[in-house]
Structure formats: structure tokens, C-alpha cells
Structure 1
Amino acid sequence: MFKPLFLTAAAVAVAAPAVAQTAPDIAQVQRHLQAVSTMTANFLQTDRAGKVLTGTLTLKKPGKVRFQYEKSVPILIVGDGKDLWFLDYSVGQKSRWPVGNSPLGVLLDPTKDISRFATVQPTGNPNIVSVEARDPKRPEFGRITLVFAKQASAPGGLMLQGWVALDSQGNRTSIRLSNQQFGVPVSDQAFKWRDPKRGSVRN
């Protein structure tokens, strides 16, 4: 069964020897998140069974995101600024979660102070920054681990490479990004969607 990529999840980076957590890394991630207003990218999604799907990502802060899957997948995931919608056009179903309750909320809300709920994870590579974000008081929301490469030309000096989402049942899905573009014009129309009534097709 296909599950929403934010409520399931897998690894973008492999484990490596431990390195000390550093406040500058957290501050740099915060600067990156605040510097990004829009982003587009290609994504490759891998679930815990190894199934791979591809598509395009469109993001506009605050709160808007669209995961458009390859044509053979009748699924659409859209954040409209308030809610995150999981739309399955093959069965005519939709589900909704408040954006702030999704692990993805850390990417969509530039006002979040991630130093309050995020920790740097060891990578063993000084050019890679990995940050895990979760709310210890609300474990049912799951957690997300963001992976960045240090790159001077990117917003805040970091290039988002992807993330790992893990739900409260331990299901994992990884997202790897490519062809990232920042600050590009993005219309609010990109986050509109059609109700997935049985027999309809996605936008």
C-alpha cells in the first residue's frame, strides 16, 4: 500500500563515525531555512521495501509544497499553506494533516526556531550537515532528518540534498533531491488541486 512520504520514511545518508555537535551547524541550517522562499527540484523517493518513485517538488513558503509524481502514479501530495493533503486518484480518496503536525513542517515554516527541537547528527564528513528534528512531546508526529551539503553559492551556504522521514511505527522513506533551484517564481496556482472523486484524474 502506498503511504504518504511524510508519514512513512529511509536513509539519505549512511551512518559514519561520530563527530561533535556544533551550534554553528544548527545556526547555519536556520539561516538556510530562513533564506529559502521558493524551491523547485526533482526528487527520488525510496520506501522501506525499496520501491522507487520519481517526480518534481515545488515549494513556496510559508506552508506550500507540491509533490508531483511520475505519470504512472495516481498520487498527489499538496500543502496549501494550512493543510497537507494526500490525494489518491486511483481510489478517489483524500486525507488531510495540519502542515505543522507533519515532519515536513520544518521546511515550510521559516519562523520555526529549529534549535529548540533539532540536533546535529554525526556524518563523519565536514562538508555534510545532518540535522534531526522532532518534538519529544509529540512522538506521533514522527521525525525528519535533513541532509545538507556545504556550498557557498547556496542559500545560507547549504544545499539541501534530501531527507529521511520516520513515523511513530518506524516506517521509513527517503527523499533525494537533484536540480535544486532557489528563488524561482512560483505561482500559488501550483498548489491548487482537484478533489479525487472516483474515476477522476489528478491535476
Structure 2
Amino acid sequence: MKRIVAPLALVLAATTALVAPTVPATAQQQDQSDLAKVNDYIRSVTTLTADFSQTDRNGQTLTGKLTLKQPGKIRFQYQKGVPLLIVSDGKALTMIDYEVRQVQRWPIGNSPLGALLDPSKDLSKYGKLVPTGDPTVLSVEARDPKRPEYGTITMIFKRNASAPAGLQLYGWVMLDSQNNRTAVRFSNQVYGAPVADSAFRWTDPRPRGRSAGS
């Protein structure tokens, strides 16, 4: 079976430095307003389920189901036949490879996903708007300038009056340390539905492993 490594780009580091262009004060004010809306979105979402499609730099696409529960819990359940699972229990982000019985863990704050999974963070301190040319779409790049090795995430939102804070999470793009790009798109988003904490447990495939993310 061909090894699938695309999900590693969700958590590996990025070192690309991007320089923000000089913009007029009115544009800066609009950017701050839009960043505030994205902050409101992250703080408004209690739960989210969605279908996802993930495409790596080689054009390989995987699909699956996303489950999110704030604060800090997320699960990427890949399509049948893909022996990978990415899950966060609120403290650590874990990637489980059931084919080789390998488990890797990172503190959430060490992953670019921390920008989405920590409602206490203020995007205005480490995020910036990326021009899209479409007034209905917001694109926000977030990374910790003090820890560029933690990675970069560019979150893409569409304005939608019926979604939390008037925004719908459409997807994101991440970069790894070799500047490899992985894009994730979402569809069939459902907000606020009950999600049990058990959804973020996992079975340890290692010999004598323990279950439930231990």
C-alpha cells in the first residue's frame, strides 16, 4: 500500500517569512475590523462538524469528516482505507498511524491549528489579512512571529449571515518547513450540534497500548 504522508503538513513547522505591505490607515482599520470578526467567529463556535477534502503538494486528495469542539478539541477522521487519524483532546494534537503503529504528539500551541482552537488568543497580535480580491471572502494568515517553527496557517472564510459571527469557515492552507503546501476545504458545515467528549478519544495501536488517547 502506498504510504500517505500528506497529513504531516498539518503539524510540521513552517519557516517562510512573509512581509506585510504598507497600507493606508483606512485599509488598516478595515483589516482590524475583519480580524475582529474572525476573532468573534472563533469565540462563537462551540461545535462544528463538516466534510473535508485535503490536497497535498503532489495533488493527492483525501477526504473525511471533521469534528471540532471548543476549546481545543478536533478530530480528522479520514476516508475508509486511510490508516491515519489526527485528533486533539484539548491539550495535545496527536497523529496516529495505524498501519505502522506509530503515535506522534504535539502541544496544541506548537501547531498552526492553535490559531483556530484557542478562543483566548487575539488574532490582531499575530494574524494579518491577506487580500483576496473578493469582498465576500476573508483570508487570514496566522503564525507566531516569535516561533516561526510552529508553522503558518491561512484560514479562509466566506461571509454568511447565518453562520457564527457572520462568517463560514471555508478552509485553510498550511506550509511545512520545506514550503510544502497542504490545502483543506470544508463542506456541509453544521454548527452547535451536541458533540460528546468521547469523539476525541482514540485507540493506541502500539504494543500494549492504552486507549482513549493515553
- TM-score when normalising by structure 2: 0.85
More helix by share: 2
Look at both structures and tell me which one has the larger radius of gyration over its CA atoms: 2
User: For 1:7 and 1:108, how far apart are their aligned partners in 2?
Assistant: 13
User: For 1:184 and 1:100, how far apart are their aligned partners in 2?
Assistant: 26
**1:102 equivalent in structure 2:** 111
Q: In the comparison of the two structures, how many residue pairs are matched?
A: 193
- The answer to whether residue 190 in structure 2 is matched with residue 186 in structure 1 is no
**2:126 equivalent in structure 1:** 117
Tell me which of 165, 182, 193 is aligned to 1:173: 182
Tell me the amino acid that sits aligned with residue 4 of structure 1: L
Tell me which of 40, 44, 67 is aligned to 2:49: 40
User: For 2:135 and 2:196, how far apart are their aligned partners in 1?
Assistant: 37
SS of 1:4's partner is helix
- TM-score when normalising by structure 1: 0.90
Which structure 2 residues correspond to residues 108-147 of structure 1 after superposition, within 5 A?
A: 108-147=117-156
Q: Give the conservation status (yes or no) of the 8 Å contact 1:141–1:167.
A: no
Which structure 2 residues correspond to residues 1-203 of structure 1 after superposition, within 5 A?
A: 1-2=4-5, 3-7=7-11, 20-21=27-28, 22-197=31-206
Question: Between the two proteins, what is the percent identity of the paired residues?
Answer: 57
Report deviation, 1:23.
Answer: 1.3
5+ residue gaps, structure 2: 14-22
RMSD after superposition = 2.1
List structure 1 segments (4+ residues) > 2 angstroms apart after TM superposition: none
Report deviation, 1:8.
Answer: 5.5
User: For 1:100 and 1:40, how far apart are their aligned partners in 2?
Assistant: 22
Q: Give the conservation status (yes or no) of the 8 Å contact 2:12–2:150.
A: no
More contact order relative to length (CA 8 Å, sep ≥ 6): 1
Q: Give the conservation status (yes or no) of the 8 Å contact 2:92–2:107.
A: yes
